[in-house]
A = this chain, B = another copy of it.
Amino acid sequence: MSFWKNLFTPSLSTNGSGPAVANGSARRTLDGAGAAPPPPRIFLSNNRDIDLYELEELCDAVGWARRPIRKVKKAIQHSFLVVTMWREQGNYRRLIGFARATSDHTFNATVWDVVLHPDYQNKGLGKALMQRVIDDLRSQDISNITLFADPDVVGFYEHLGFNPDPDGIKGMFWYPDS
């Protein structure tokens, strides 16, 4: 095991739930004398057939509270849009980003659960992920794209064209204890 640990970054070696992790063909490539692994590529997808434990691992990495897997599954099923970001190298594929949106399919969409693995932050990938969300929603003729931003990411979304409290409109949340 230490052989593999040395070959891969810690974040990759702990990825136990991605497709085709450490399979035979990868071993052959890495065993080749001096053969370099194929260059990594990062890509976006709308395929919502996601390993939910891998998604949980991603959300753990940014410190989100855990949510029941069955509820996450249902929420993804009933989202209008799901965008995932992957890092792929040879046969290794790792989920590094995620975002989804609810919508009435016409006027409004609301973006939820935007997450990018800390190892890949501050490289423009979060912007690429959100730009894909915006492009996908616009291509489906959604007029109004909304979200609720934590204070520390308001600037990030402003750079993407989101305005906080436009015309004094307030985002509001209902709480059972109110």
Copies of this chain:
2
Task: Name which residue of chain B comes closest to A158, CB basis.
Answer: B172
- A26 on the interface (CB 8 Å rule)? no
A82 → B minimal CB distance (Å)? 11
- A74 on the interface (CB 8 Å rule)? yes
Contact with B along A102-123 (1 / 0, CB 8 A): 1111111010100000000000
Q: Is the CB of A173 within 8 A of B151?
A: no
Classify the secondary structure of A's interface with B: mixed
Q: Is the CB of B163 within 8 A of A172?
A: yes
- A13 on the interface (CB 8 Å rule)? no
Chain A interface residues (CB < 8 Å from chain B): 67, 71-72, 74-80, 100, 102-108, 110, 112, 134, 138, 144-151, 154, 157-158, 160-176, 178
Mind listing 13 A-B residue pairs with CB under 8 Å? A102-B102, A102-B108, A107-B112, A108-B112, A145-B174, A148-B171, A154-B170, A160-B174, A160-B178, A161-B175, A162-B174, A163-B174, A171-B172
